Structures are given as C-alpha cells and as structure tokens.
Amino acid sequence: SQNHGFCVDAAQLPTDWEVLFTNANDNSNEGVVHSVLPYFSVQFHPEHTAGPEDLECLFDVFLESVKDHMNNRSPVSVKNRLIERLVYRPSVPIVTERPKKILILGSGGLSIGQAGEFDYSGSQAIKALKEESIQTLLINPNIATVQTSKGMADKVYFLPIIPEYVEQVIRSERPDGVLLT
C-alpha cells in the first residue's frame, strides 16, 4: 500500500503474499492479499478520491470472513472472495449475435452553413453496415445528401424523430439495434 510517497514494493513481498490492486497511472502497489490466510490490506492514493461506497465490497468480504471464523465454518480464501466480488459482470448480457437489421436515426435537414459531419457519419455508417451485409433503415435523413442516394439505405422513412414515429418503425421493422448520427 502507499501513503505519502511510500508504497510496498511488489517484488519484495514475502511468500504467499500477492498484489491485490495496482495503480494504473504509476504502477504502484495499492493493496496486498495473502493467498492462504484471511489477510488483505489496501490503501489507495490520496488523489483517488474514493466515494463512500466506492469499494464497499472490501468491507463485506472482511465481515464475511469474520463471520465464517466466528461460526467455525471452513474458511474461504479471502483472495477468491475478493476476485469473485471484483469481477465485472454486466447487468445486461453482451450480445454475441451479429445484427441483421439496424435503424439509423438521422439528423434531419441541414441549413446552409451547418456542418455536414452528421451526413458524413451517417453515410459512412450505412456503407460500413452494407459491407457487413446488415440491412439499414433510415429515419429523418437530410434529403439533399448522400444518405438518401439510390443504393445507400435499404429503407428510408421521411419522418421526424419523435417517440411515436420511432416506436412505430421499431414495432414494424424489428431492428436489432439503433445508431444515431
């Protein structure tokens, strides 16, 4: 752990001690854990400015270990408990299936003097999706641009971007995803 310029040298850790946290900015050690015994310690850099619930799970792991000991339960490795708690598990499953149809919400008509990046980004998105054989649906395009050229989007809806119209297109077309330009 580190504090006021001092930190534990990971290369000098005794047997059965391992690094638990490493500062991504300067690679300094910010925590150690014993591989067998129920010991661990952390001290984050003062500029870390952790909030009151930032790593509250560390206290939970400590309390679980104490309860196990008090109830004479066979101890679970603190290291394994910490790993279990700290592994990221997205609340929404990650989609691994390739989309077949994408709805692109266009930026609408551009006035003279407005930048054309929105049309460019939409046109590039349509081209990239076509290269991947993904069907493209476009709502609210700028009608005077490349996006609406023949052979670009598979379907074009000249509708304003308001919830009712977007929901109606989504219900009828059932796209696998939505992109914004």
Domains of the chain, with CATH numbers? 17-86 (no CATH), 101-179 (3.40.50.20)
Cα-based distances in Å from 156 to 14, 39, 119, 136, 159 = 66, 62, 14, 9, 9
pLDDT at 156 over 80: yes
**Gap between the Cα atoms of 139 and 179, Å rounded:** 11
Q: Which residues lie across from 40 on neighbouring strands?
A: 33
Q: Residue 122 carries which side chain, given as an amino acid letter?
A: G
* pLDDT at res. 46: 61
The pLDDT of 60-77, averaged and rounded, is 87
Band (3; pLDDT cuts 50, 70, 90): low
Query: Quick one: what percent of the chain has pLDDT higher than 90?
Result: 29
Confidence bin at 114 (pLDDT 50/70/90): low
Segment 29-56, tens digit of pLDDT: 888 999 888 889 888 766 666 666 778 8
Higher-pLDDT residue of 162 and 149 is 162
As a dihedral over the C-alpha atoms of residue 31, residue 51, residue 55, residue 14, rounded to 10 degrees, the angle is 10
Question: What's the average model confidence in pLDDT over 45-73?
Answer: 80
List the Cα angle 17/84/63 in 5-degree steps: 75
Within 8 A by CB and 6+ apart from 129, the residues are 102, 135, 136
Report the pLDDT value the prediction gives residue 131, as an integer from 0 to 100: 94
In 48-165, DSSP assigns E strands to 101-105, 135-139, 155-157
pLDDT at 158 over 70: yes
- Span 156-175, average pLDDT: 93
Nearest to 22 by CA among 13, 11, 31, 35: 31
Beta bridge partners of 139: 105, 157
User: Across all residues in the chain, what is the average pLDDT?
Assistant: 83
Counted residue by residue, the chain has a size of 181
Highest mean pLDDT among 54-58, 65-69, 93-97: 65-69
Residues above pLDDT 70, as percent of the chain: 81
**In this predicted structure, what is the pLDDT of residue 1?**
44
